[in-house]
Amino acid sequence: MKYSLIVFDWDGTLLDSAGAIARAIQAACRDLDLPEPSDVAARHVIGLGLVDAMQQAVPVLTPDRYPAMIERYRFHYLSGDHQLTLFDGVPALVARLHAAGHQLAVATGKSRLGLERALDHSGLRPYFMASRCADECHSKPHPQMLEELLAEFSVPAASTVMIGDTSHDLLMASNAGVAGLAVTYGAHPHDHLREHRPLACLHTVAELDAWLAQNA
């Protein structure tokens, strides 16, 4: 087994939520009469902690308005998050990796409360032995999430792979000395992901499953 620890990002990697997140950011801006970021700009910040994401998506946002922006974002996102679904093939992929003996974890820009809701709603909670969230660690691409997971599992960086759909995931992996694997069906486009030299760019969950079966 080359990668005993496999760490997944959540939004845009396991859950088909990138579009909903971008729309919630845009709706929050409209509520507060702020410049509305393009779809590309809104998708680019997916994976970051909420404050970092809002700072980048809405550069004119002043610190005193962060709480209002985050409240409106959560209002719009949470009003529809129960309708979001896992990408086709994700439950079978995660179950297979778990059965094969891999240790599975999550490193996400979601809050702890948000991830707990998502784990319960998705039915994937039994498969993940640990997780780290943006409100308890430095936001991606800081390596803290991965460093803490490596320490928790007592696994070396060389035996770990980080799977994500954004450059933030790949940069975090690089900063932690961990291999990065990209999926192109989430938030960031293929060309942007390729710039960060992942092990591979996989275009579907089926391709990801096949790559892991052969290489992990």
Distance CA(190)–CA(193), nearest Å, equals 5
Question: Which of 9, 52, 81, 209 is labelled catalytic?
Answer: 9
Is 165 annotated as catalytic?
A: no
Give the full edge-to-edge strand order of the sheet including 201-202: 130-133, 103-108, 5-8, 160-164, 179-183, 201-202
Three-class DSSP category at 109: coil
Contacts of 166 (CB under 8 A, 6+ apart): 9, 12, 44, 46, 47, 140, 186, 187, 188, 193
Active site residue 191: no
**Residue from 11, 52, 81, 165 carrying the catalytic annotation:** 11
Nearest by Cα to 90 from 62, 59, 119, 50:
119
Catalytic positions, written as ranges: 9, 11
